Structure 1
């Protein structure tokens, strides 16, 4: 091997090694926060570290509801007077070294450390997905169906190892509707509903022309494009040239999907692929104004954040039952999310009178405003924690309060609503 090539190879290997070390350090990091006044106990949140290392206006808080919600969960406990420790849900070395009043789990740590927790610790599974076995099986079915339709095998992007968080928890918090809750009923544990938040509130646009936009639809999602149903939507719209589809999703990050659907994504006249678009941007608001609705045939969701965002933006939802959003009379449920059903629902929406489309869109907007905002999440979460605390016998179930003078002000964590 020539010397320049050898040096390049060594450099790449060294960089890969450094990145792995950095990742391990970040994964095993614990962040500790203290309330303004004297502490009444400790809380452990096993979720994400990033919300506590970034500025409140970082774009990551617009990319997924989990980042703001994780931050708000910590703020809730700080305001109640608890010290809060935060670790990542994939931390593989953490062992409790103090008594915890609450342990909030989202994935893997609780099952590993339950035996090390004080027996009066209240253990809550904060479920931001449907049960992971349902979640994995649903994606596997979609990938198998795609293989049978197109003769190709794509990678499972949303697969996660099974966890036993619910088995080790006292109760579960779910962000979605009864679909998500029902995937957890098997354990016979108390199930509490906390409405998922949304990053942006859009004003209602009374000037939107529903006659002009009735043939235009949006697909909006994060990663896991087969899981989210983009393959089905692409195949449906490719067979309906009279209807237009705009795609806001990270297509370029899934190379196998990109290659398999290149023709539909980039060589089909009625399909426009934009990639990921910041939902706070003017571009996204213009897209929302030009589209009558969102098509979301996801196979499994914990709360349907993408659908909720588009309802806030004044679009009519066409969504699967598994999207975990109640659509009432302002949207259309996909019962099997087949290509034929997607086509039928799109045509049905497009055929409605403009005044009915406007009424449905406005109802969707009103419902999202009334049920899914950051303020509503914060209030519901705090009320549920207080309710659980009050149900417990504090003499026997809660660790003795101890006093630790606070050092980090709660207000330093507050983010823009």
Structure 2
């Protein structure tokens, strides 16, 4: 009976922790503690491949926690948006994202504070959301709400160091006085490794993939452009918000196919990729989009804005000058000017570049090196 009660209590504690979005990895109670405010629920889905494949940050969250654990720390992980009180464990390292990052830093001022920047500076992102949504509302006399706004915070001011997913373009969105704190890291991809080089797609259709926030992702420009060019074909993968669709539905002709969310490792996703040579992604604010590097891993050539680009973009694709139709037109014209041989070479180069740089093994290596370097300061 006592054993049964013990098991029941253990199950209750685990369930309660899951509901509260926390998880602990303990070496020894006497070891120092690290507080991570990022993704906690992933640790309750470690055997769920479909869940882990839904976004590259799932496996990266596991790597982050395990790295601190291997370095000899006890690790307390809390969902970044959780309202649960931060425990009094005398943390010596605070790592993660807002809003709990700032709360933890204020509570434990002597801890080493490492901010994990997964996107552009919040003031840049919010301005882009306002501008790009206002463009749609004024053009189509609609009333779209502002989606994916970031609540103002002082994480970069309080942080000792900033680890940034992104590029030099991403760093440039931050105030100059804080840019010296920032170090870049290559994120991973969740698409399975490709052993076969993608063949040239005779259909030469175009590809777009994005998550929520259709206005911020620049999807309106693509719909407008392809509406004006019915001879071209656009595949859209990812969720479409109802108000966005209702506003733009009259611009969506037979040459624009909306597929909705697809698993990037599914046969249907691969079949769509086979008909395309280019991914076009005119986003207004990102780090480096997983949509872009996952598509490159499949052999697509990127046509992207600076906010969706990596540092070496000019070696592998086309950088859109501005967020407007004319820039989209230049990118499309560039893609149509390339020979089959050039497209095949760029496609192969894109696959090789992503396979070598954007994988979970490389992420783990770079993260380990970064943390050890920060701890030595």
Partner of 1:347: 333
1:122 equivalent to 2:112? Answer yes
Other-structure match for 2:12: none
- CA separation of 1:246/1:29 partners in 2, compared to 1, >3 Å: closer, same or farther? closer
Preserved contact between residue 105 and residue 113 of structure 2 (Cα < 8 Å)? no
Measured in 1, the distance between the counterparts of 2:214 and 2:96 equals 27
Q: Which residue does 1:260 correspond to in 2?
A: 247
> Computing the radius of gyration over CA atoms, which structure comes out larger, 1 or 2?
1
Give ranges in structure 1 of 5+ residues lacking alignment.
1-23, 392-417
Matches of 2:295 and 2:198 in 1, distance apart? 17
Per the TM alignment, residue 26 of structure 1 is displaced from its structure 2 partner at its CA by: 6.1
The alignment of Structure 1 onto Structure 2 pairs a total of residues equal to 360
- Report if the CA contact (8 A) 1:264-1:271 is conserved: no
Equivalent-residue separation in structure 2 for 1:84 and 1:97 (angstroms): 13
Partner residue of 1:178 out of 168, 171, 185: 168
2:94·2:105 contact (CA, 8 Å) conserved in 1?
no
In the alignment, the residues of structure 2 paired with residue 39 and residue 374 of structure 1 have an alpha-carbon distance, to the nearest angstrom, of 31
1:46, 1:113 → 2: CA distance? Answer: 9
Helix, strand or coil: the match of 1:98? coil
CA deviation after TM superposition for structure 1 residue 110, in Å: 3.0
Cross-structure match for 2:125: 135
Kindly report which structure 2 residues correspond to 1:37-48, keeping only aligned pairs within 5 A, or say none.
40-48=31-39
The 5 Å alignment of 1:256-295 reads: 256-265=243-252, 268-295=253-280
Structure 1 residues 168, 109: closer, same or farther in 2, change over 3 A?
Answer: same
Q: Corresponding residue for 2:283?
A: 298
The answer to whether the 8 Å contact 1:46/1:109 transfers is: yes
- The answer to whether the 8 A contact 2:170-2:287 is kept is yes
Deviations 1:187-232 (A, max 9, x none): 435211111111124425446134x133x01010111111111111
Equivalence map 1:10-409=2 (5 Å): 28-35=20-27, 40-117=31-108, 119=110, 121-188=111-178, 190-203=181-194, 205-206=196-197, 208-210=199-201, 212-214=202-204, 216-251=205-240, 254-265=241-252, 268-326=253-311, 327-391=313-377
CA-based RMSD of the aligned residues comes to 2.0
- Per the TM alignment, residue 237 of structure 1 is displaced from its structure 2 partner at its CA by 0.7
User: SS at the partner of 1:228?
Assistant: coil
Alignment partner, residue 3 of structure 2: none
Q: Give the whole-Å Cα distance in 1 for the aligned partners of 2:115 and 2:106.
A: 16
Decide whether the 8 Å contact of 1:96 with 1:113 is kept in 2: no
CA offset at residue 48 of structure 1? 1.6
Distance 1:148 1:313, change over 3 A: same
Alpha-carbon distance in structure 2 between the residues aligned to 1:257 and 1:357: 33
Deviations 1:20-39 (A, max 9, x none): xxxx986744311124x786
SS in 1 for 2:302: strand
Output one character per residue of 1:73-129: Cα deviation in whole Å (capped at 9) or x when no partner. 00111121211101111223423412222111211123224342151x111000111
Please list every run of 5 or more consecutive structure 2 residues that lacks an aligned counterpart in the other structure.
1-15
Deviations, residues 49-77 of structure 1 (Å, cap 9, x unaligned): 22111134342322222222112100111
Q: How high is the TM-score relative to the length of structure 2?
A: 0.90
